Amino acid sequence: MCRRWMPWLILMAPAAPWRTVITLAVPVLVYALLAEQQRRITMISLLRTAGPGTVIVQERGITGPALRIQVGDSPHRPQFPG
């Protein structure tokens, strides 16, 4: 969401008073920061309680990329020849 709104806010800057631009930009930035913080808190809490071999997948968020993390070694590790 933040990445979608920023170009519009920049384009509005010359046409709109600076107070309007700040009034629109601040809530968008605060929302993006809070969303990313919550996303990280969720990931850390999952990592702390996950057992060995667990795969944690988090889809792309508003402010971050998709994540795929494997905790420890898998009990059924695939054997590769060679």
Give exposure, 13-52, as e/b (b: 16+ Cβ within 10 Å): eeeeeeeebeeebeebeeebeebeeebeeeeeeeeeeeee
Distance, CA of 72 to CA of 50 (rounded, Å): 9
- pLDDT tens-digit readout, 40-81: 898 888 888 888 888 888 888 777 788 888 887 765 555 555
Instruction: Confirm whether 48 is domain-assigned.
Output: yes
Instruction: Confirm whether 11 is domain-assigned.
Output: yes
Phi and psi at 68, nearest 5°, equal: -140, 115
Domain count, the chain: 1
User: Which residue range is the domain that position 37 belongs to?
Assistant: 2-70
Instruction: Confirm whether 55 is domain-assigned.
Output: yes
Instruction: Confirm whether 81 is domain-assigned.
Output: no
- pLDDT tens-digit readout, 19-50: 777 888 888 889 888 988 888 898 888 888 88
